[in-house]
A = this chain, B = another copy of it.
């Protein structure tokens, strides 16, 4: 389908969809879950083909691409969970009387047509379709080319679910075009697309910088930091750093750089160094940390400036020694991507300064960076993690897929 046609169909579907009652929107989500549960085979087969063609991808990237029976079942469960969430469009919020006695309230409305440009993780099709259908938005999906076969099958399954529920199937549309020009066209579709959500790294964000004419909420790269303070409890620091780096290295809230206060460098690396090596992590350290790692028999290479600015999305960790909290804050200010940063310390003053001064969507004290996730934070399912400050900052869920308009009830009031 030509993208111009697709945009017209999106607009038409948006007019229909925003009038649908909650029950119909939920019915579609349940139909999608049932289709996934009843017949996962076509999805698994398509995914196998994608995987077979993806031999050049790193193991972490292959992990992102992979769907197995358990993951497909998880997607069906996710669709059911979104159906069970409160309707983001329901009811209105009274703000009380304005001057002149008018009654003022806020009412949530869908944004309209939302486009999402995402990496090679096919589960995003189900997660995002569920959230956008639930919130009355039309979604245009444009996934990574490595997942093209998986995405096609998943999108058709979603559209079957929409049809089964009596909703317009064009509520979920797929850009079946791996060419970069299609992304540029989406970013330029001012007046036809209400929001573009780009998820990805530097290359995608550069494309956005250059071409976006449509409002954008960036879900940009996560150069996430853990700072182990002079006053850290090292029995917490080691498991937090290990978890942040190795639990799932290919995702955006994984740690990429560990900052260590000089006064705890030796005791921390004595335990953490070998543990990271055992987990297969490649270490890139500044000279001081490099020497210390060497003492404990941990292979490492010297870090370059580029390492501080890299989202590895892989079992690679940059390690830097700092002399103070201020140095750690300055490093994060320079290299962080407003995503996630954690401090490990027993010192409440140091923690409070870190939490207040680090400019990131999620700041943590004595917890793993991996908690910057809608489900873990208790916020529910999410479209991704926004690194934009406007409208959504951090996990972007159902509420952030709506806007609030003002509704005024008067009895003939005029302004004096």
By a beta-carbon cutoff of 8 Å, the part of chain A in contact with chain B is 19, 95-100, 102, 104, 107, 109, 111-112, 190, 194-195, 209-210, 212-213, 215-217, 233, 235-236, 239-240, 242-244, 247, 355-357, 359-368, 370-372, 375-379, 388-391, 393-395, 403-415
B412 engages A233 (CB within 8 Å): yes
Q: Which of B109, B367, B395, B410 contacts A364 (CB 8 A)?
A: B410
Q: Which residues of chain B are within 8 angstroms of A363 by Cβ–Cβ distance? A: 405-408
In the complex, the chain B residue whose C-beta lies closest to that of A366 is B410
Give the distance to chain B from A74, nearest Cβ to Cβ, in Å.
15
B409 touches A366 (CB 8 A): yes
Of the listed residues A190, A239, A405, the one surrounded by the most CB atoms of chain B closer than 10 A to its CB is: A405
Cβ–Cβ < 8 Å partners of A102 in chain B? 364, 367, 371, 376-377
Q: CB distance A393 to B389 under 8 Å? A: no
Chain B residues, Cβ within 8 Å of A19: 357
A394/B405 in contact, CB under 8 A: yes
How many Å lie between the Cα of A368 and that of B410 in the bound state? 9
The closest CB in chain B to the CB of A363 belongs to B407
B239 with A359: CB separation less than 8 A? no
Q: Are A407 and B355 in contact (CB under 8 A)?
A: yes
- A212, A215, A216, most chain B CB atoms within 10 A: A215
A391 to B98, CA, bound (A): 22
Which residue of B97, B412, B414 contacts A370 across the interface (Cβ within 8 Å)?
A: B414
B412 near A100: Cβ-Cβ < 8 Å: no
Complex Cα distance A363/B197, Å?
28
Residues of B within 8 A of A376 (CB): 98-100, 102, 415
Q: Are B378 and A98 in contact (CB under 8 A)?
A: yes
Q: Contacts A363-B405, A371-B102, A403-B390; is A414 near B378 (CB within 8 Å)?
A: no
Given A19-B357, A102-B367, A367-B408, 15 further pairs, Cβ under 8 A: A96-B378, A99-B376, A100-B376, A107-B356, A109-B359, A109-B389, A111-B389, A243-B415, A244-B414, A362-B408, A364-B407, A368-B415, A393-B403, A394-B406, A395-B406
Q: Is B247 touching A366 in the complex (CB atoms < 8 A)?
A: no
Q: Could you list 15 A-B pairs, sorted by A, with CB under 8 Å?
A: A95-B378, A96-B378, A97-B378, A194-B389, A247-B415, A362-B407, A363-B407, A367-B411, A368-B410, A368-B415, A372-B406, A391-B391, A393-B405, A394-B405, A395-B406
Please name all residues of chain B whose beta carbon is closer than 8 Å to the beta carbon of A194 when the two chains form the complex: 389
Give which listed residue, B100, B404, B414, contacts A393 with CB less than 8 A.
Answer: B404
Name A195's closest neighbour in chain B (CB-CB).
Answer: B390
A335 to chain B, nearest CB (A): 14
Report the separation of the CA atoms of residues A64 and B191 in the bound assembly, to the nearest whole angstrom.
30
Q: Are A390 and B390 in contact (CB under 8 A)?
A: yes
Q: How far is the CB of A338 from chain B (nearest CB, A)?
A: 9
Contacts of A360 in B (CB 8 A): 405
Q: Which residues of B contact A195 (CB under 8 A)?
A: 390
| Neighbouring B residues of A412 by C-beta, 8 Å | 233, 235-236, 239-240, 366-367
A78 to chain B, nearest CB (A): 15
CB distance from A187 to the nearest CB of B (A): 12
**Set of chain B residues within 8 Å of A370, measured between Cβ atoms:** 414-415
What separation, in Å, do the CA atoms of A355 and B411 have in the docked complex?
15
Contacts of A366 in B (CB 8 A): 409-413
Name the one of B99, B212, B368 contacting A375, with C-beta atoms under 8 angstroms: B99
A409, B365: Cβ atoms closer than 8 Å:
yes
Taking CB atoms, residues of chain B closer than 8 Å to A355 are 107, 407
